[in-house]
Structure 1
């Protein structure tokens, strides 16, 4: 069965955009915060294959080990990271974007992902409920990823604040 995924979320980070941009320059560290990431394999410059641990419920027999490839591209101003699927890599095609916009409180980080999961094993009885169930699982993963990203960026800020206080 094919299952479509489409998720849009945003978070506010109390840092200016120039402090958030490094997020897009270190793809491997950023991606490592994604829950269920089992393995990230670099196949070429800015091209990676993601292998995720099982998503879903094995008890309900709606579970899938997702693998997909993506080619990442950073915008000229450094405020947007986009990715497109790599053909023939895995059992999913995922594209998306990560964008930073300045706000009065710091930065708004927008995240959008869309695509399809292929060959999802779903018993006939669950065919109607499987797509929203799997979408819900992915929404939770994305929200956790964004929160981990915020925490990591704010944690990076904390040591520099301590250094400044110690220098006084």
Structure 2
């Protein structure tokens, strides 16, 4: 038995750095991922696709791990970086984008949007109880990531 939890997140963020610095960091997936908390492993699948293997949460046989893969597309002229799911990789399906806008020479605005579906091997009876916990954890990870990015500049 398994349950699927759907998550939608949107964040806006001002970064005290130039457009080029911000874009270059975010377009470099391993460098950007180094600021994301609780990543156990980032596996390069080639062709700008990466598998994210997050740290396990829980204890022994009740531990769950999020694993998903995305292909990344960066367009510096348009100010966008997007990611689309790689089918058949892991227990999650994640897509999203960054929209990057130059405010002035030393201030860049980011719009972050992502949607995820995570399937975990738990009885459907637990969906009502576990779904808010998973959503809270995902929100917390993204908030920490945003703070880490801000501090990187």
Tell me if both proteins adopt one fold, taking TM over 0.5 as the criterion. Answer: yes
Once the two structures are superposed, what CA deviation does each residue of 1:78-122 show, in whole Å capped at 9, x if it has no partner?
621100000000011000111211236711111111020013425
CA shift, 1:68, in A, is 0.6
Residue in structure 2 matched with residue 44 of structure 1 by the alignment:
46
Q: Contact 1:24–1:80 (CA<8 Å) still a contact in 2?
A: no
CA shift, 1:23, in A, is 1.4
Q: Distance in 2 between matches of 1:27 and 1:5?
A: 21
After the TM superposition, which parts of structure 1 deviate over 4 Å for at least 4 consecutive aligned residues? none
Residue in structure 1 matched with residue 11 of structure 2 by the alignment:
9
Quick check: which has more Rg, 1 or 2?
1
What TM-score do the two structures reach when normalised by structure 2? 0.87
Q: Distance in 2 between matches of 1:140 and 1:119?
A: 19
Higher strand share: 2
Once the two structures are superposed, what CA deviation does each residue of 1:63-87 show, in whole Å capped at 9, x if it has no partner?
5300011000012516211000000
Residue in structure 2 matched with residue 94 of structure 1 by the alignment:
94
What TM-score do the two structures reach when normalised by structure 1? 0.80
Listed as ranges, the gaps of 5+ residues in structure 2 are: none
Listed as ranges, the gaps of 5+ residues in structure 1 are: 155-168
Q: Contact 1:122–1:130 (CA<8 Å) still a contact in 2?
A: no
The question of 1:81 aligning with 2:81 is answered yes
Q: 1:76 to 1:11 in 2, by over 3 A?
A: closer
